Copies of this chain bind each other. A is one copy, B any other.
Amino acid sequence: MKKAVILFSGGLDSTTCLAYATSKGYECYALSFNYGQKHSSELNAAKKIAKKLNVKQHEVIELLLGSLGTSALTDKNLAIPNYKGTSSIPVTYVPARNTIMLSIALGWAETLDADAIFIGVSAVDYSGYPDCRPEYIEAFRTMANKATKRGVEGSPVRIETPLIHLSKAETTKLGLSLGVDYSETVSCYKATIDGLACGKCDSCHLRKKGFEDANIIDPTRYVSS
């Protein structure tokens, strides 16, 4: 059975990605990170969903970079802002995050002799992070082929991005067609310990818009306002 490593946060995109890889016949190895996010409800959701979707193995890596990375997602002195719709790179950007996660996934994929890594990035409805763009992913692929034993030996680990050209609405429709229960996923940057979403941050804004555009009733559990 072909194997895949899935970068899996427990949010809307990565859960769709996991369901997609499963539907394509991969034996899935889910990889989550505790990188000092301010809340753990995303990781709690990840654990629950990974179990439900029968992943072969779910690893949560402690990657506490402390002073090495500054982001509103991890630094308690920086507030997570509400959605403002600006086009610059926001303070929730975690320096080199996708590169670090993909690199660790690459190491695991080589060890497992896995054929692919799945990452749920999208360049359509996204927060402006540079490491979600197709040209970034393409450059990572090229680098990965030169970095690894498998790459050098001619059977590189593929980096799969099934959502990269999908809008949030399209991703949501794809996930529903694959049986994803989005009420279990947590996307909010400020989720409560029970997984309730704030409804106001960038991530909530994008997710909410996705359900609206797809004409789907939003199953997200919000804090009562």
Contacts from A to B (Cβ < 8 Å): 59, 61-70, 89, 93-100, 102-104, 106-108, 110-111, 130-131, 133, 135-136, 139-140, 142-149, 151-152
Contact = CB atoms under 8 A, between A and B. Distances in A.
Main secondary structure of the interface of A (DSSP, over half): helix
A135 B66 CA distance: 32
A104 B96 contact: yes
Contact of A95 (B61, B133, B148): B148
Contacts of A104: 65, 68, 96, 100
Contact of A152 (B68, B99, B130, B145): B130
A129 to B, nearest CB: 9
Contact of A107 (B62, B97, B135, B144): B97
Contacts of A61: 65, 68
Contacts of A68: 59, 61, 104, 107-108, 111
A130 to B, nearest CB: 5
Contact of A142 (B69, B95, B143, B148): B143
Contact of A147 (B62, B99, B110): B99
A98 B147 CA distance: 8
Contact of A96 (B63, B65, B103, B131): B103
A135 B152 CA distance: 11
A59 B63 contact: no
A168 B215 CA distance: 64
Would you list the 5 A-B pairs with minimal beta carbon distance, nearest first?
A96-B107, A95-B110, A139-B143, A95-B107, A68-B108
